[in-house]
Amino acid sequence: MRHSKGADAPRLKRSSGLLWGRAILGALGLTLVLGSAGQSASLGTLTQLAGTAGCVSETGTGGLCATGTGLGWVFSVAVSPDGRHVYVASVMSSAVAVFARDEATGALTQLAGTAGCVSADGTGGLCAVGRALHWAGYVVVSPDGWHVYVASGDGVAVFARDEATGALTQLPGTAGCVSDDGTGGLCADGRALSGATSPAVSPDGWHVYVASGYGVAVFARDKATGALTQLPGTAGCVSDDGTGGLCAEGRALSGVTSVAVSPDGSHLYVVSWARSAVAVLARDKATGALTQSPRKAGCVSLTGFHRAMSEGAADTRGLCASGGLVLWNPVSVAVSPDGSHVYVVSPNMAAITLFARDKATGTLTQLPGTAGCVSETEEYRLPIGPCAEGRALVGATSVAVSRDGQHVYVASYMYGAVAVFARDKATGRLTQLPGTAGCVSQTGWHYATRGLCAAGTGLDGATSVALSPDDRHLYVASYGPNMNGGVAVFARD
């Protein structure tokens, strides 16, 4: 492990190769893949790796998957920027599992012994013991690859990453975690972290943003050590009501389930499950502080639904721009690599909402007509307006955009599926691939996808999707049958 890292030190060359969310079943994770376009054209189709290389699970899924440890009810998956390792956060195991990734095939191999996972209780000696990992659900790797952050009901745990082996070491003392109450002196004290979900690191690596039931907590990141320091005063968090004067006051920020930073680092997009909205926050690149855009430019919310269908949605009427009727209880958001478009998924509406993004102001404008949303209207037969029709979208929980910007992938826990869409780079419009190329689902998971999707394994309760940095492989986290979750592995054409 690198023990001395200056904030601006050059990367060393490698010798080889490159809850609040726990209370909402739909709020299962966010994985955003950022990068630049310019790669060769691809079809976007998915092919699961053969045999046990195609998935790893807590139980081995009757011999169909490899067997892993610390994989009970997996919520999210993240790939290191160098593509060498994959990290998986598991709620029931209160753990983060560590895998080496074969860069050629995409196959995963869990690290041996206690290096293969870190959990709140050590999992009977099978994992290393960590702090602030109870109900660990969300994991992210810093852009420089030096640190890993895990959000849980307790707060945020901070780990140094060994770039050679992928092994994680929690920072010592209170630098190793931040929580609302300091966790009995084991962690640093923080604010607005109850039910922490979906941490996001700014592209420049200087700041970390954490979603929670209260809003968004804002941290400065020490690039050398990975330690987090919450910004002082009200700059340290933003919430609907200012959290008793501890945070800045914003709109459409209650029950936040997902955050994404734009590739240029200028804006933060925040999904509010409770407000059925997406908030737009400008980011000060020097300090990391967030300022909500004024008036209706500061948020987009559901309109036309009664309060009983979306508690709190009425609170944003007149304060936010209209986001259409499928923006009901959204749970995940992703920004395209070119920064031109934003995609939001809503499990209860089996839908994706599509927005054009003004790069200068960050303002979101829903695409016109049927280009503005894709939904599985046939399943629920709801009067949700003019959306394009899709499939395998009921219970949509996570959205990711390929690094080349050509495709969008959506995980669906209800179908145990991944839906595949071609993306028009100019307009942002999505078109589901035809036939069985348009989705992969757990065999027999639901009548509606039989014969319409390719068959996959280890996809029960799919919760999160993440693409490798080279765009060659897709990893799908799932909570699995009887909460024995895992990760499915696909090659991307």
Amino acid in the structure at residue 302:
L
86-89 long-range Cβ contacts below 8 angstroms, 24+ apart? 86/466, 86/475, 86/487, 87/139, 87/141, 87/148, 87/168, 88/139, 88/477, 88/487, 89/136, 89/137, 89/138, 89/139, 89/150, 89/151, 89/152
pTM for this entry: 0.89
The domains of the chain, with CATH numbers, are 21-492 (2.130.10.10)
Nearest to 198, CA basis, from 183, 178, 220, 213: 213
The pLDDT profile of the chain, 493 residues, written as one tens digit per residue, is 443 344 333 333 322 222 333 333 333 333 333 333 334 467 999 999 999 999 999 999 889 999 999 999 999 999 999 999 999 999 999 999 999 999 999 999 999 999 999 999 999 999 999 999 999 999 999 999 999 999 998 799 999 999 999 999 999 999 999 999 888 899 999 999 988 999 999 999 999 999 998 899 999 999 999 999 999 999 999 998 888 889 999 999 989 999 999 999 999 999 999 889 999 999 999 999 999 988 889 999 986 333 334 444 445 556 888 877 789 899 999 999 999 999 999 998 899 999 999 999 999 999 999 999 999 865 444 445 678 999 899 999 999 999 999 999 999 998 899 999 999 999 999 999 999 999 999 874 455 555 689 999 999 999 999 999 999 999 999 998 777 789 999 999 9
Distance spanning both ends of the chain, measured CA to CA = 34
